[in-house]
Every structure is written in C-alpha cells, then in structure tokens.
Amino acid sequence: DGGITQSPKYLFRKEGQNVTLSCEQNLNHDAMYWYRQDPGQGLRLIYYSQIVNDFQKGDIAEGYSVSREKKESFPLTVTSAQKNPTAFYLCASRRPLDSGANVLTFGAGSRLTVL
Amino acid sequence: RKEVEQDPGPFNVPEGATVAFNCTYSNSASQSFFWYRQDCRKEPKLLMSVYSSGNEDGRFTAQLNRASQYISLLIRDSKLSDSATYLCVVNMDNQGGKLIFGQGTELSVKP
C-alpha cells in the first residue's frame, strides 16, 4: 500500500546537536510539507516543496533546513539554531493540483525531545 | 490577525447533541478548504473537503461563506467516538500551494 513513512518515531537529542528527520512517500505526490505541532496547539508550517529541487519557507522556518533532491524524499534537519525544538513533527504530501483531489496525506509523525 | 482562526474550545457535549465549529480565514484569494480530525498523539486525517455549495457526509455538514470568509462544521447526533480535535485547513491558492491549519478545536462527547 502507498503511504508516507516518517522516521524515527521518537528521537532524543542533546542541546547543540543537529538532527535529521526522514520523510519518504511512495504515492507519487509532487508536493510535500513539514509541520510542527506543540501540545494543545495546531500545526505550523515549517517548509514546503511543490516540485523536486524547489522548496519554500513556511511560517516558522528559522532553525530548520530541508532538501528535495528526489520526488519521494523530503528530509528535515533541525539545527542547533532552533531554540525550542521539542515538538511533534508531521510530514505530509499532496496529489498534483490538477488531479481534482486537493488533500494532504500525513505520516505518523516524529516526536523530538531535546534533553 | 492570524491567517486561520478557530473557536478556542474545548467543547464538552453529551451524546446525541449537535455541535458546530467555526473557522475564519484572512486570505480572500483562498479557494480550497478542508476539515481534518486529529486523535490524541496521532496524525491528522481528512474528515471532509468543503465545497462552495456546502456538503454533507452522514452526520457531518460543512459550509463555506465566502463573503464573511468563514467555514463551519456541524456534527449531528454526537457519538463518543467523535471525541477528537478538529482542524480547519485553508489552501492559500495565491501562495503556491501553502496550506495553513487553524489551531484546532477539541471536542469531548460524554455519555
């Protein structure tokens, strides 16, 4: 079955370390997204990518970086510059805009805790 | 003003009640709207898209009011299993596919 796989599911990090969260999809979706969710809050957009080799900053991109070298993959690096990185990170993908179905499919998420 | 805002909640209702959530958006160019459901510590899942004419799916009805820039979700005959957080999502069509979520409204249905 097609879907989105995020790894790791849980991650602990020491302050000052960079970590990379993986997001892989086999849905043949063009667009991919990274969101952050803090307890009791909604999702905030970090970065998004409409096509390979192109991506845009979302509302809270500072302290994060991404790459989109392959259609299937959109890894997120949480750098040491991110002041409050402990959160639930969600990756999503979306079908082509001309497909008539404009919905997001999410991975199961990665919980990052900074010790 | 936030791009997408929802009723703060939480909503605590008895089984069988009818409950309505509202969501306002600031970008008048937005064309696509959705409601997602999120269970505790899980990823959001699509509940329904919102169409201009309004749409219904069983006990759930979604409405769009473009003039006032809000969308709504009505749940009739609430079930215990409806307890979750409901998120509205707005596609910023004039910003290259940017999808913005509201902060979510928590619903708790009690026996």
Tell me the DSSP string of A30-50. SEEEEEEE-TT--EEEEEEEE
Quick: pLDDT tens for B31-56.
889 999 999 989 999 999 888 888 99
Chain B contact for A60 (CB, 8 A cutoff):
no
Location of structure tokens 């309505």: B20
> Which helix (H) or strand (E) is B45 found in, with range?
strand B45-50
Which residues in chain A are contacts of B43 at CB distance < 8 A? 90, 106-109
Contact predicate A103/B49, CB 8 Å: yes
Q: Which residues of B2-19 are buried (b: 16+ CB within 10 A; e: fewer)?
A: ebbbbbeeebebeeeeeb
Quick: pLDDT tens for A96-113.
655 555 678 999 999 999
Chain A contact for B87 (CB, 8 A cutoff):
yes
Quick: pLDDT tens for A19-32.
999 999 999 999 99
Contact B42 A33 (CB under 8 A): no
Given a cut of 90, whether residue B23 has pLDDT beyond it is yes
pLDDT at A101: 55
At CA A81, angle to CA A77 and CA A87, rounded to 5? 60
The C-alpha torsion from A59 through B93 and A89 to B79, rounded to 10°, is 120
The secondary structure of residue A97, as a DSSP letter, is G
pLDDT at B9: 85
C-alpha span between B105 and B83 (Å, rounded): 11
Which residues in chain A are contacts of B46 at CB distance < 8 A? 103-104
**Average pLDDT for chain B:** 91
Identify each DSSP E strand in chain A by its residue range: 4-7, 10-13, 19-25, 31-37, 43-51, 54-57, 64-66, 76-78, 87-94, 104-106, 110-114
C-alpha span between A37 and A49 (Å, rounded): 19
Write the CB contacts of B89 (distance below 8 Å, at least 6 apart in sequence).
A104, B4, B33, B34, B35, B36, B99, B100, B101, B102
The C-alpha torsion from A4 through A110 and B97 to A102, rounded to 10°, is 40
